[in-house]
Structure 1
C-alpha cells in the first residue's frame, strides 16, 4: 500500500513543482486594430471577438514581456537578451474585433485566425512560422528571413507580396497578384488569379500551386 501511495504522490509532486513556474497574465489595454510583436514566443490571434490579451509561460517571461498600445497599435516587446532564454511554451493569445496590420519580428510561431476585412498588411522578419486564414479584399505582405509564411488559407482578391530570403511563402489571390521575390526562397500562389505580375531576382522562384 505504501508503494502504491508513493507511486501516486511522487508524480503529483513533480507535476506541482513544474507548474509552480508557470504563470498567466491578462493585460487590460486600450483598444487596438494593429499588432507589432518582437521576440521569441508563440502568438495566437483570433479576429471577430471581444478584445483580450493573455500572456502565459514561465514567470520570468510573463514579468518581462511588455505590452502597450500606441496609436491603435498593440506593441509587444520581449527584451533582446531574453529572446533565446525563454523556456517552456511562452504564448501570447489575442482576440480582437478587427485587424488591419501585423508586424512580427522573431523566431516563434504566429497564427492569425478568422481574419475578415477589406485590407490586411503583414510584415514578417524572422526564422519562425506565420500562418493566416480568413478573407480580405487586399493583402499586402512583406516577408524577410529564413522562416515560412503560409497565407494560402487567407482568401484575397488582390495580393501584393515582396519576399526576400531563403524560406517559403504561399498566398491566395483571385484577381491580381503582384509578386517580387529576391533570394533563394520560393513563392507559391493559389486561387488562379486573373493577372500575375512577377519580378524575380536571384535563384528563387514564383510559381502556381494549383
Structure 2
C-alpha cells in the first residue's frame, strides 16, 4: 500500500536530488584583488591642454594567459598554473591601465584621458601590450612586463619601449602576498613609464 508524502517534503526531496546532480560552479574566492596606485593627482587640481597635447592611455592588449581574472604562475617554458583562490576584481589589463593613468597624471603635467573620455581628438596615444603579469615560480617573483607604444598626435611618429619590474614574493605563492608583490611591480613599471613620458 502506497502512502502519500506531504507536498513540502516532496519539494525538499526534489531539491536535494537536483542539487546532487547539478553543479552551479566552484566556490567564489574569499576576497578579490585590485591594484592601488602609489601616486595620484591632487584633488581639485585643474589642467588644460590643446587637442594635440592631451594623452590618451589605452587599455593594453594581452596574451591569452592574461585574459582572465586569475593570476598565472609560469612553472617552466611550457607549463602555466594559476594561484589558488586569487582573482582580480576585473581584467588585469583594465586595472593596469587605470593605475598607469593615475601615476602618469600624478607625476607629469599632462592631461590624461582614457579611450572612453575624449570628445574630439585624443591627442597623443599610449598603447601597448601587457606581456607578463603574474608569477615566475623558478625565482618566486611577481613579474610585470609592459611593451609601450607612444603614437604622436596625427599618427606620424611611433615610439616603442619595453618596461619590466620584478618583485620578490617573500613566501608561499598565495593570493595576498602575490597580489601585494604584483601591485608593487606594477607601480614600478608605471613610475618608469611616467618618467619616460615626462622626459
Determine which structure has greater relative contact order: mean sequence separation of CA pairs < 8 Å that are 6+ residues apart, divided by chain length. Answer: 2
TM-score class, shorter: under 0.3
Based on CA coordinates, which of the two structures has the bigger radius of gyration? 2
TM-score if structure 2 supplies the norm length?
A: 0.28
Structure number with the higher strand fraction is: 1
